[in-house]
Structure 1
């Protein structure tokens, strides 16, 4: 186990921020997360976080995954003092970090996310992992399923994933898997592209529009220029930024601000 004192890190907020669908609260302050082939449990008390893994795995995988080398306090301090709305949103979601997630997993996750809610998205992803992923053990009695490879899903009939509750999104996922395995679009090439090129390339895949492409660019490729606009963000823009979000001021961290806004619109207002 590795214990760290961390600023601007809150595993509960990250879990509910809508960027990761394989993270769960197991009990009280204990959370589990599955990323690709890896499984981790995290315990947090205040700023003290315990990562239930060895030091090598923390340093080589999880530290990067949680973006722990970045100073998110600087992002929060950069917010315009006169922008009371964004300041309130950042205070509410101060512990959110932009995760560095697997590109293929994010493509599938956000194809499934269309016209869907977080609870159902999680259930859909659990279903396809249990049916088409590999069962693994973390060595401590926890069993989990890896995310299915594109090659596996590419062999399916377009409607096969309806059995996993994907509905019409089944064909999005299967056709995309076929495009990737057939070489029409290269994930390795996308990883090397700047934001605008990567976004355009992602939109060549069936079912991926501008918003989904931006989510993938932000949560998999770590392109902080991406600013996904869904219903929650659109409402915030209409209510607080009628002339458009001041992206120029936040150049290089627009996506971080988007997450503060999204999380606040999703959960902050419900709490008053």
Structure 2
């Protein structure tokens, strides 16, 4: 793998295990959008980035080597050997073999904890396009303007202070519906440091989950998503409708409806790679329509 900079682009030749579609369309993030040329533009850590894969060459536009090493290397989880993880999972059975091939370029992003907490509170009983619209609206209304890229302005995710003290009409207009009180309360908890959500990564997973579930609007599934996508806890197994379907299709009796038991089954099966296995299975099931009647 060769890494170098050309003008305002960072280029990585011979990249492995990196497919933008698999990364940005697997339900883990809500601030990346596909461009007409097939690339993806998004905001993270107060920066605008465009990501494009050409063959086995990854082009990161609107950045430099300094920001790559400070921000993007960790954000894209570049130190993790996904080839080894896929090989280990693929040996388990044909379903995982197929799922890891189908989503071969997936990576778990290392995202901002507070942004993930709010984003997944919004995600409860919601569809991804609606979640993205709400997050974009709140960022434009309450976030700091970062800059412009390809003629479009981009905004940082709102701070805890901005979200906790904003006019209620902003939340109403963002279409977060019944979640608006949860968003304000969760934001105040972080702003006032009643709980420092960022420090939860230092706790064991079960303790971090218990803390998260004291936040209004955070239940078992949302807490597992926060643990995986916002706190780098991989021994979790978030269960939504697609994961429930794929588990019923491949691994457990359809009569088992208890989501907690399905989650425990997944963790027992996949151990410290549960979260990564879940993402391969989720993406495979959703894209293939597995278990849909």
Question: Of residues 189, 195, 198 in structure 2, which corresponds to 1:179?
Answer: 189
State how far apart, in whole Å, the 2-side matches of 1:256 and 1:168 are. 31
- Listed one character per residue, the Cα deviations across residues 95-133 of structure 1 (whole Å, up to 9, x for unaligned) are 110000000000010000011111111000000001000
Asked whether 1:147 is paired with 2:147, we answer: no
Contact preservation (8 Å) 1:112, 1:121 = yes
Classify the secondary structure of the residue corresponding to 1:116: coil
Q: Distance in 2 between matches of 1:80 and 1:44?
A: 25
- Does the CA-based 8 Å contact 1:29-1:45 persist in structure 2? no
Q: 1:31 aligns with which of 40, 43, 64?
A: 40
Alpha-carbon offset, residue 140 of structure 1: 7.4
Report the counterpart of residue 135 of structure 2 in structure 1.
125
Tell me whether 1:21 sits opposite 2:30 in the alignment.
Answer: yes
Unaligned 5+ segments in structure 1 are none
Structure with bigger helix share is 2
- In structure 1, distance between residues paired with 2:124 and 2:269: 30
Shift of 1:260: 0.3
Structure 2 CA distance for partners of 1:134 and 1:265, relative to 1, 3 Å: same
Number of positions where the alignment pairs a residue of Structure 1 with one of Structure 2 = 270
1:107 corresponds to: 117
Unmatched 5+ stretches in structure 2? 1-8, 254-261
TM-score by length of 1: 0.93
Moved more, 5-14 or 108-117: 5-14
Q: Structure 1: how far apart are the matches of 2:39 and 2:204? A: 37
Q: Is the 8 A contact 1:232 1:262 kept in 2?
A: yes
- The alignment status of 1:257 with 2:277, answered yes or no, reads yes
Are the equivalent residues in 2 in contact too, given 1:162–1:168 (CA < 8 A)? no
Query: What secondary structure sits across from 1:242 in the alignment?
Result: coil
Give me the whole-angstrom Cα distance separating, in 2, the residues matched to 1:196 and 1:63.
Answer: 28
- 1:218 maps to 228
Give the RMSD, CA atoms, in angstroms.
1.9
Partners of 1:235 and 1:269 in 2: CA distance: 9
